[in-house]
Amino acid sequence: MPEKFDVIVVGAGPAGTACALVCAQQGLNVMLIERGEYPGSKNVMGGVLYRKQLEDLIPDFWKEAPLERPIIEQRFWMMDKESVVSFGYKGLEWGVEPYNNFTVLRAQFDQWFAKKAVEAGALLVNETVVKECIVENGKVVGVRTDRPDGDLYADVVVLADGVNSLLGKQLGFHKEHRPDEVALTAMEVINLPKEKINDRFNLEDNQGCTIEIFGDSTQGNLGTAFLYTNKDSLNIGVGTTLSSMIKAKLKPYDLLDYLKNHPMVSPLLAGGESAEYLAHLIPEGGFRSVPKVVGDGVVVVGDAASLVNAIHREGSNMAMASGKMAAEAIVKAKTRNDFSASGLNSYREALYNSFIMKDLEKYKDAAHTFEKYPQYFKEYVPMMNKAASKFFTVDGTPKREKQKQIMKSVTAERGTIRVLQDMYRAWKAVK
């Protein structure tokens, strides 16, 4: 007789582990299934872990979690071929408890996080692929794994299988992602001695810095690049929507190479040793791409439900928060012994009332706008660079005259009306 659990969670990423942890803490019998050799072995993230949502699960986690550096500085670069316009914020208050956010390496972080769920009582089985959900009379009752005697049953199955959730597709919750709903990102971990990192980024040992890079980092396509500092390595990556890549006939690794050799970037990496190369999709479709998240005997969390805020590069925190909300709904359903879609619906309600769906709603037109009107990345970033160069070059021209020239060159390139339209459209997309 195959075992029956209260909950089976598929996928030990931030979403699945958070859900398993809370369910186990509440005394449920939880099975967490991961296809990797260990949790995190194949998982990819630029590396910014936000404090709040993890702190809600594990207070004071920074005292024991394998974190790289607390981030005390966030920079934003508008990059052209041989220049950048940059702004940012550095604050020492982010360098002391309770911190703001951290860089992490997922292979280590996910393993530690899953261990917390195991300590709370969840059972973790690695190296096992869930092939499909077992559905009886329209209700999900368990999962079929690729192992011999591999069927397992549960009151609720949690789909935390990440972007491109095959199980969500099997259940008909969503279709194959359209190329404009996902970003394809390639990244590399580059080993560099701690002292070099501290010097180059103006940091102390326990301080980190993030740089988000727009414009020429994606050769003007819709996407971003990032460069983050770990203890003794750097994470550098770049991605664009899959549709932009197809249109511009780009390959993710070519883009990454281009970025690494960019004159604004390469001095920061010089002498580093490439340790790891990774590529991964990010579900960036936003509000409109969020599928059905509750069914009879099943809930969907994290990337599997497209819960990513691409503009603020928030994903892992939404994954954790959604996992926790799902767990709370499952605990509630258990007290009433009703695991139907309506019995589990408090998850959907919580999700839609939380920052997650509110933020996704706010930006629901952003990706679409920027994809449809490529001038933001292709034209305005170089224009900004030119303007800054002109403004800050001391050549005897009066400043007011310079401002006039700059405005003129901007409107000359795009026309006054179109500039105003562009501004309005961008503001509407992110307001």
Nearer to other proteins, 107 or 330 (CB): 107
Alpha carbon distance 181, 286 (integer Å): 8
C-alpha to C-alpha distances, 21 to 162, 174, 325, nearest whole angstrom = 18, 27, 12
Question: What residues between 8 and 37 interact with other proteins by CB under 8 A?
Answer: 31
Site residue total, other proteins (CB under 8 A): 16
Q: Which of 60, 81, 89, 125 binds other proteins (CB under 8 A)?
A: 125
Would you state the structure tokens that stand for residue 186, as one six-digit string? 């390639």
Question: What residues between 147 and 176 interact with ligand FAD by CB under 6 A?
Answer: 160-162, 166
19 binds ligand FAD, rule: CB under 6 A: no
Alpha carbon distance 301, 279 (integer Å): 22
Helix (H, G, I), strand (E, B) or coil at 97: coil
Segment near ligand FAD (CB under 6 A); pick from 12-20, 90-98, 243-251, 353-361: 12-20
Give which of 302, 296, 35 is closest to 142, Cα–Cα.
296
Segment near other proteins (CB under 8 A); pick from 47-55, 149-157, 173-181, 377-385: 149-157
Please report how close the Cβ of residue 404 comes to ligand FAD at its closest, in angstroms.
Answer: 41
Sign of the CA dihedral 30, 334, 294, 22? negative
Q: Which of 17, 83, 145, 289 binds other proteins (CB under 8 A)?
A: 145
Please report how close the Cβ of residue 102 comes to ligand FAD at its closest, in angstroms.
Answer: 10
Q: Of other proteins, ligand FAD, none, which one sits near residue 149, judging by CB under 5 to 8 A according to partner kind?
A: other proteins
Please, are residues 252 and 245 in contact by the beta-carbon 8 Å criterion? yes
Q: Of ligand FAD, other proteins, none, which one sits near residue 395, judging by CB under 5 to 8 A according to partner kind?
A: none
Interface mask (CB under 8 A) for other proteins, residues 40-79, using x and -?
A: ----------------------------------------
Q: Which of 133, 319, 330, 383 binds ligand FAD (CB under 6 A)?
A: 319
Alpha carbon distance 290, 358 (integer Å): 12
As a 3-state breakdown, the chain gives helix, strand, coil percent values, each rounded to 5, of: 40, 25, 35
Please report how close the Cβ of residue 2 comes to other proteins at its closest, in angstroms.
Answer: 8
Nearer to other proteins, 115 or 247 (CB): 115
Q: Of ligand FAD, other proteins, none, which one sits near residue 300, judging by CB under 5 to 8 A according to partner kind?
A: none
Query: CB atoms < 10 A from the CB of 126, how many?
Result: 15
401 binds other proteins, rule: CB under 8 A: no
Please, are residues 133 and 72 in contact by the beta-carbon 8 Å criterion? no
Query: CB atoms < 10 A from the CB of 81, how many?
Result: 12
CA dihedral 403, 405, 408, 412 (to 10 degrees): -140
Give which of 14, 19, 10, 33 is closest to 125, Cα–Cα.
33
Nearer to other proteins, 21 or 78 (CB): 21
Alpha carbon distance 48, 114 (integer Å): 18
Please report how close the Cβ of residue 194 comes to other proteins at its closest, in angstroms.
Answer: 15
Alpha carbon distance 354, 167 (integer Å): 25
- Interface ranges with ligand FAD (CB under 6 A): 10-16, 33-36, 39, 42-48, 129-130, 160-162, 166, 185, 187, 237, 280, 282, 302-304, 308, 313-317, 319
Residues engaged in binding other proteins (CB under 8 A): 2-3, 31, 38, 123-125, 128, 145-152
